[in-house]
Amino acid sequence: MATDVIMPKMGATMEEGTIVTWFLNKGDYVEEGSPIAEIQTDKIAIEIEAEVSGTLLHTCYEAGETVKVHEVIAYIGEKNELIEVSNSSKKMEVIEQVKEKEQVLPPPSTAETFQKIRRTPAARVLANEHRIDLSEVSGTGQNGRIEKKDVLHFINSKKKITPLARKIAAAENLDIENIAGTGAYQKITKKDLMLPKISEKSKPLKGMRKVIADRMSQSAFTAPHVTITSEIDMTSCINLRKELLPEIERSTGLRLSFNEILLFATAKTLSKHPNMNASIIDDYIVEHESINIGFAVSVGDGLLVPVVKDANKLGLTELTAACKELGLLAREGKLLPHHLEEGTFTISNLGMYAVDSFTPIINQPQSAILGVGRIVEKPAVINKGIEIRSMMVLSLSFDHRLIDGAPAAAFLTDLKEILENPMKLLL
């Protein structure tokens, strides 16, 4: 009996996933534990592995489609096994049988026509794999026999298109040479001809980029954002980092960065301002007992926010090790769902770029996010005199539904006090 492959629920908040790509074609054999497809959740991209060995009998959705969790997305079973595919979201019921590729005659060929065509075994197998009608292929072998190289030449030189798509192209006077096919083996289908014309530089909004776009839009339109800023004198923090850097590097082999110092200081400040460590959940304001701080990491065409759990309970050395490990996993694409869950506050640091300040968007259901700009040397008034100091701007965006301006300002003021007097971090 065929085994269902379902869209997994990767975390408590996941409601649907997008199929990024299928690693196998229908009829391919798959070993237990081998990857079948890559899916994109609302947080990460992850591979789905086969729970049994067998033949991939049917895929219910195409790459790019979004599927609810626990929905069947494919079937694995014995070769030639009959399956009944019932997919409520597509409202379809079909009976499908997987046959050995050697038995499949490419339409519109008939068995009689197929037998009359002179071809080598290798040419026949390749033609079956690519669903090619050998009557359309010119043979260069002895007595016109079709060889494998002839099939390869046909594949590389001829645009593959379904009969219906060919009729539409002829009726609409369409040039199919520059149309990319999305069907099996890049075959042009009716759907490809109906797509809107886009420029060569355009690309579809999908995968991680689409998830980020949807979540940012939801946050911007759901939570009334207010952003306040404060300029921080980081001179003392810079000096403290210079003193601690060799000690932490000696004990961990890791280099202490300003990101870890900022996260450490933020965790200490949040412990005094529980209203900033809160969420709105089902019309309730929930002040979280744990202080779990996420920090944004840029990865390719997207952004991930791994979370340091109970950050306020970690020493600076432990915190540095945790941040470095999560950052490495993010960049290598090895984060697991639990690395991204349960965040209660987020830090977005653009200090490595030429950015002084910006307006970060809240990572819901959190209530606030801290944006960090670059450190710049500039004149500052110190004890009625002018000195060159290392200055940095912090931008705090907060959800005005549950946080008012005064409490947010109090939090930012206390964070400024700690960063400008960093010895308090060690007390």
Residue positions annotated with a catalytic role:
400, 404
Burial 112-131 (b: 16+ CB within 10 A, else e): eebeebebbeebbebbbbbb
Cβ contact 372:347 at 8 Å: yes
CA distances from 212 to 158, 218, 398, 412 (A): 39, 10, 19, 27
* Burial class of residue 210 in the structure, from the number of CB atoms within 10 Å of its CB (0-12 exposed, 13-18 middle, 19+ buried): middle
Torsion-angle region of 150 (φ positive above 0: left; ψ -120 to 50: alpha; else: beta): alpha
The answer for residues whose C-beta is within 8 angstroms of residue 292's C-beta and 6 or more apart is: 307, 308, 309, 310, 311, 342, 343, 344, 345
Sheet architecture: strand order including 225-233: 225-233, 385-399, 368-382, 345-349, 293-295, 307-308
Instruction: In the chain, count H helices and then E strands.
Output: 10, 20
- Classify 55 as helix, strand or coil: strand
Q: Is the peptide bond before 106 cis (omega within 30 degrees of 0)?
A: no
Tokens of 315: 């020493």
30 has which bridge partners? 54
CA distances from 190 to 171, 194, 262 (A): 13, 6, 55
Calpha distance 293→308 (Å, rounded): 5
